[in-house]
Amino acid sequence: SEVGHEVCCIDIDQNKVKKLKQGKIDIYEPELREMVLRNQKKQRLEFTSNLKQAVNFSSLIFICVGTPESTEGSADLTSVFNVVDSIAKEIKEKKVIVIKSTVPPGTGLEIQSLFEHKLKNKNLSVQVVSNPEFLREGRAINDFMEPDRVIIGVEQKSVKNKLLDLYSLLISDDKIIFMDMLSAELTKYASNAMLATKISFINEIANISDFLGADIDLVRKGMGNDKRIGFSFMNPGSGYGGSCFPKDVKALISKAQNFGYNPRLLRATDLVNRAQKKIIFSKIVKIFGDDLTGLKFAVWGLSFKPETDDIRESPSIELIKSLNKAGATVSAYDPKAINQFKQVMPKNQPLLTYMESKDLCIEGADALVVMTEWSEFQVSDFSFIKSALKTPIIFDARNFLEEETLRSLGFRYFGIGRGRNAQ
């Protein structure tokens, strides 16, 4: 709608729709609210929970529902197939159905034949297209408005032209890569798996660096300046989280295994990540011992990364549960994600409290653990922090604090792979 198209959005969550109609947005995403309000005002963007209205609004329908991880690790496509049922029920004319949800290769073809079966009696046809989404939470608007490329899986010329028309208001044609549906679906999984693998790779090197007493910052600098390698997704940390990398790597593993293929590299990426989520806890235990009863830890950062309130698969979940299980009290703070975080944590946990500010959070704690690199954490008054903590110890799960400054202020500092100084 920002570039002039008329858009009608439907969700089965009526409460979400009601709030969106009033210009209220449930999630934190920079600049999103302003953009929604702007386009609602221009009457180019509307929200509804009325199925008939939504299905017949346009000849192009995007499916963007969630495809979470199932208990076996494959993608749970229940919501996608529910949408297919809904469209088939209400459809009155020919449509192009664009799958934006991340779905395993083969899903588009399956949906195409499902529609053919369901619409046989109506004498109607639809064309299914794969158009996977690559935006990042926290930068969603910029990523969507200025994508590196747009992948479209469709072979019919008329449908290609329809999508070219749609995207031409947003990007130049040379940024659109057309391919078959299976390849488009695999491109999405392969891209996420590649990025996840880069993260697991640098985490593995960081762990080795810790054992050696080497400095991962220098290793990363040395590696990243090789143009073939680069710096992106090469930041050591406490493992990747979020709604995409963990589930997409596992779904691709599951899909490959269905064909009898053992995806060794993808399994290693996932394994390294699971272990990495425990790395900060193991550093804490190394300093304070197994039994943390009577100790208090301040945790800054609950979302899986900054500039979002998404806590899905956030490393902070596992860390805080482990600290509580070992008897420690946790005082937690996040600029945006506290409400979301509360919903996935055990209720009535007396050892866990949420604080309204980063300063209140550290009062009387035995150590500060920084889990997410929100910029407000970087500009902290560390002299004040030192006086508020019982012992001046900082665990930095993102290697984003100034290690030398902290050490000169008298802190004991533990990052990831900054082994040279961690002894």
Ligand X SMILES: NC(=O)c1ccc[n+]([C@@H]2O[C@H](COP(=O)([O-])OP(=O)(O)OC[C@H]3O[C@@H](n4cnc5c(N)ncnc54)[C@H](O)[C@@H]3O)[C@@H](O)[C@H]2O)c1
Q: Which of 26, 404 has the CB closer to ligand X?
A: 26
Can residue 102 be called a binding residue for ligand X (CB under 6 A)?
Answer: yes
Can residue 244 be called a binding residue for ligand X (CB under 6 A)?
Answer: yes
Total count of residues recorded for the chain = 423
Please identify which of the residues 8, 9, 64, 244 carries the catalytic annotation: 244
Q: Which of 99, 279 has the CB closer to ligand X?
A: 99
CB of residue 268 vs ligand X: minimum separation in angstroms? 22
Can residue 381 be called a binding residue for ligand X (CB under 6 A)?
Answer: no
Residue labelled with tokens 């949906």: 111
Taking residue 83's Cβ as centre, other Cβ atoms within 10 Å add up to 23
| Binder of ligand X out of 22, 50, 53, 82 (CB under 6 A) | 82
C-alpha–C-alpha distance, residues 392 and 390, integer Å = 7
Q: Which of 189, 281 has the CB closer to ligand X?
A: 189
Q: Which of 13, 291 has the CB closer to ligand X?
A: 13
C-alpha–C-alpha distance, residues 340 and 342, integer Å = 6
**Site size for ligand X, by CB under 6 A?**
20
Q: Which of 243, 314 has the CB closer to ligand X?
A: 243
Asked whether the beta carbons of 393 and 407 are under 8 A apart, the reply is: no
CB of residue 165 vs ligand X: minimum separation in angstroms? 23
Asked whether the beta carbons of 79 and 66 are under 8 A apart, the reply is: yes
C-alpha–C-alpha distance, residues 233 and 374, integer Å = 17
| Binder of ligand X out of 10, 272, 328, 388 (CB under 6 A) | 10
Q: Which two tokens stand for residue 371?
A: 């889990």
CB of residue 115 vs ligand X: minimum separation in angstroms? 16
Asked whether the beta carbons of 422 and 210 are under 8 A apart, the reply is: yes
Can residue 91 be called a binding residue for ligand X (CB under 6 A)?
Answer: no
| Binder of ligand X out of 11, 76, 204, 359 (CB under 6 A) | 11
C-alpha–C-alpha distance, residues 23 and 43, integer Å = 13
C-alpha–C-alpha distance, residues 78 and 221, integer Å = 44
C-alpha–C-alpha distance, residues 371 and 272, integer Å = 18
| Residues 109-138, interacting with ligand X (CB under 6 A) | 133, 135, 137
Relative to beta strand 7-10, strand 45-48 is: parallel
Residue labelled with tokens 């304070």: 288
CB of residue 129 vs ligand X: minimum separation in angstroms? 15
CB of residue 308 vs ligand X: minimum separation in angstroms? 8
| Residues 40-69, interacting with ligand X (CB under 6 A) | 64-67
The full 3-state SS of 257-277, as one line of letters, equals HHCCCCCHHHHHHHHHHHHHC
Of 112, 148, 150, 145, give the one whose Cα is nearest residue 133. Answer: 150
CB of residue 249 vs ligand X: minimum separation in angstroms? 12
Closest residue to ligand X: CB criterion: 66
| Binder of ligand X out of 39, 74, 101, 130 (CB under 6 A) | 101
Taking residue 293's Cβ as centre, other Cβ atoms within 10 Å add up to 10
Q: Is residue 244 annotated as part of the catalytic site, yes or no?
A: yes
| Residues 245-304, interacting with ligand X (CB under 6 A) | none
Q: What positions carry a catalytic annotation?
A: 244
Which chain residues interact with ligand X by CB under 6 A? 10-13, 16, 64-67, 79, 82-83, 86, 101-102, 133, 135, 137, 243-244
